[in-house]
Amino acid sequence: MARKIPKIAVYKFASCDGCQLSIVDLEDELLEIGQRFEIAYFMEVTRAVKKGPYDVGLVEGSISTPHDVELIKSIRKDCKKLVAIGACATAGGIQALRNWASVEEFSKYVYAKPEYIQTLEKSSPISEYVQVDLELRGCPVNKYQLLEVLSALLAGRKPNTPTYSVCMECKRKGNVCVTVAKGIPCLGPVVQAGCGALCPTYSRGCYGCFGPMESPNVKSLASKFIELGMDKKDIVLMFREFTGWSKEFREVDRLIEE
């Protein structure tokens, strides 16, 4: 019995294309993916486009313009399953830094004719506008998590994408904790696993590109950073990077003052 080949669509909103490149970066598996899936819409890779509906849509980028809002709604209608991939699509991305400032003022400085610019007040994750079936975190996403999602989709099983802390992966790897042994501030305890504890493996603190884990205790970790000698201002900036607009990290300034 011939198995029906699932149709894949890959979309991009406000983003750097890095997550789409992570798909292309699956070099060893790319041919197999091409055989098992029909790449129906993937502008980063090919101009050939097949009409929807699609079995699965992978969406990179954040929603930042009125045009994006309309587009994501129509994409949602076209895709049976919608997977938001990367920090932009799941938390608003680095461009969500503008959410704490005035877009209007920025536009004045950046564009000669700001009146031509149509943009939203805020850069938002996909889930702010449409129902998302699964979120893959990271800046960029981890290619093995992408592969896991695609394999699970074929097998009709739930993908194994844990929501606990980076520390779990870090300790399993046998890494020495950078915070305890070297006093390096690391967001690992409050950040979701999935990267394989990439930064701590190279003796750097986690900077949180996978966003908040399932039950992040931001306040307690911030207290630890104060104890390590960090300024409150720097702690806020540390949380406000790629996933700063995520619900749990957004209010770090208020949590520190509590």
Partner 1 sequence: MSSQQKTYFALDAEMFGNIIDVLKDLGYTVYGPTERDGAIVYDVLDSAEQIARGLYDEQSPGRYKLVKKNDKRYFGYVVGPQSPKYVLYPPQHLLFKVRKDGKTFIPQSDGKKIAIVGLRPCDLKAIEILDNVLLKGPYKESVYEALRKDAVFIAVNCVEPGNNCFCTSMNTGPFAQSGYDICITEFLTDRSHVFILDVMTNRGAEVVNRLGCRNATAEELDAVSRLMEEAKNKVRKRLNTENLKDDLYKNIEHPNWNEVGNRCLACGNCTLVCPTCFCSSVFDKSSLSMDVAERWGLWDSCFSIDYSYIHGGSIRQSIMSRYRQWLMHKLATWVDQFGTFGCVGCGRCITWCPVGIDITEEANRVRG
Binds partner 1 (CB under 8 A): choice among 67, 80, 108, 182: 182
Q: Which is nearer to partner 1, 117 or 184 (CB)?
A: 184
CB 187 within 8 A of CB 216: no
CB of 139 to partner 1, least distance (A): 21
Under the binding rule (CB under 8 A), the answer on residue 233 touching partner 1 is no
Is it true that the peptide bond before 140 is cis, omega within 30 degrees of 0?
yes
Give the range of 15-23, 48-56, 161-169, 233-241 binding partner 1 by CB under 8 A: 161-169
Q: Is 212 in the site for partner 1 (CB under 8 A)?
A: no
Binds partner 1 (CB under 8 A): choice among 220, 233, 234, 254: 220
Under the criterion CB under 8 A, does residue 192 sit at the interface with partner 1? no
Q: Which is nearer to partner 1, 40 or 178 (CB)?
A: 178
Tokens of 64: 């930042």
176 touching partner 1, by CB under 8 A? yes
- What is the phi/psi pair of residue 108, to 5°? -60, -40
Regarding 33 and contact with partner 1 (CB under 8 A), the answer is: yes
| Pick from 39, 27, 17, 1: nearest CA to 141 | 17
Cα separation, 167 vs 181, whole angstroms: 14
Looking up tokens 């019995």, which residue turns up? 1
Does 122 bind partner 1 (CB under 8 A)? Our answer is no
Show Cβ contacts of residue 30 under 8 Å, excluding neighbours closer than 6 positions.
24
181 binds partner 1 (CB under 8 A): yes
Beta strands in the chain (DSSP E): 7-12, 38-42, 54-60, 79-85, 134-136
**Position 251 contacts partner 1 (CB under 8 A):** no
39 near partner 1, rule: CB under 8 A = no
Residue type, 1: M
141-160: contacts with partner 1 (CB under 8 A) = 147-148, 150-152, 154-155, 157, 160
* Residue choice 175, 196, 198, 232 for contact with partner 1 (CB under 8 A): 175
Q: Nearest-CA neighbor of 58 among 32, 91, 22?
A: 22
DSSP-assigned states of every residue in 161-220? ---SBHHHHHHHTTPPPHHHHH-----GGGBB--S-SHHHHTT-----TT-B-SS--HHH
238 is an interface residue for partner 1 by CB under 8 A = no
Asked if 254 is part of the footprint of partner 1 (rule: CB under 8 A), the reply reads no
Q: Which of 71, 223, 237, 253 binds partner 1 (CB under 8 A)?
A: 223
- Cα–Cα distance between 191 and 216 in angstroms, integer? 7
Binding span for partner 1 by CB under 8 A among 56-64, 97-105, 163-171, 242-250: 163-171
| Binding footprint of partner 1 on the chain (CB under 8 A) | 29, 32-33, 36, 147-148, 150-152, 154-155, 157, 160, 162-165, 167-168, 171-183, 186, 188-190, 203, 214-215, 217, 219-221, 223-224
